[in-house]
Amino acid sequence: MGRHNGNPYLCNWDLGIVYKGLADWLDVGFDFRKECEKDSKGKFRHENRPHLNRTLKGRLLNLDVSNRSRFSRKDKENKDTVWEYRNKTKVKFPVELTALKLRPYVAEE
């Protein structure tokens, strides 16, 4: 919902699998994301976005650290296909907020 007087203009779904059995320090995943966004004429345009993820994990100074590399292909309706590389580094702190079981982290992508 949003910018057009509360009418739906964007929808998406994402389905993926992650394999964690290669090594303790490595996760490999494949996802497929489908997005639909309403254009200026009111018609929903579709985008298919398969992506492959590789995440390296470890501990540094009592912190959980991970680095994810994502390779994706954006296949938009009526537009050229775009290949994309994204990298995300995340640091999780060992502190858990009591009753809510929340764990703070910092990430940069």
Residue 6's pLDDT band (boundaries 50, 70, 90)? low
Q: What is the pTM of this model?
A: 0.75
Percent of the chain scoring above 70 in pLDDT: 92
Look-up: residue for tokens 């992650």?
18
Inside any domain, residue 1? no
The single-letter code of the amino acid at 76 is K
Residue 8's pLDDT band (boundaries 50, 70, 90)? low
At residue 74, the pLDDT reads 92
Percent of the chain scoring above 90 in pLDDT: 58
Inside any domain, residue 102? yes
Inside any domain, residue 3? no
- 14 and 2 in contact (C-beta within 8 Å)? no
Nearest by Cα to 71 from 56, 57, 87:
87
Domain that holds residue 31: 10-108
Q: Mean pLDDT across the stretch 70-96?
A: 91
R_g (Cα) of the chain, nearest Å: 18
Q: Please say if the pLDDT value at position 7 is more than 70.
A: no
- 82-92 and 10-23 strand pairing: unpaired
Q: Residue 31's domain is classified under what CATH number?
A: 2.20.200
Inside any domain, residue 66? yes
Cβ neighbour number for residue 60 with a 10 Å cutoff: 8
pLDDT by residue (tens digit) across 42-72? 788 889 999 999 999 999 998 999 999 999 9
Domain count, the chain: 1
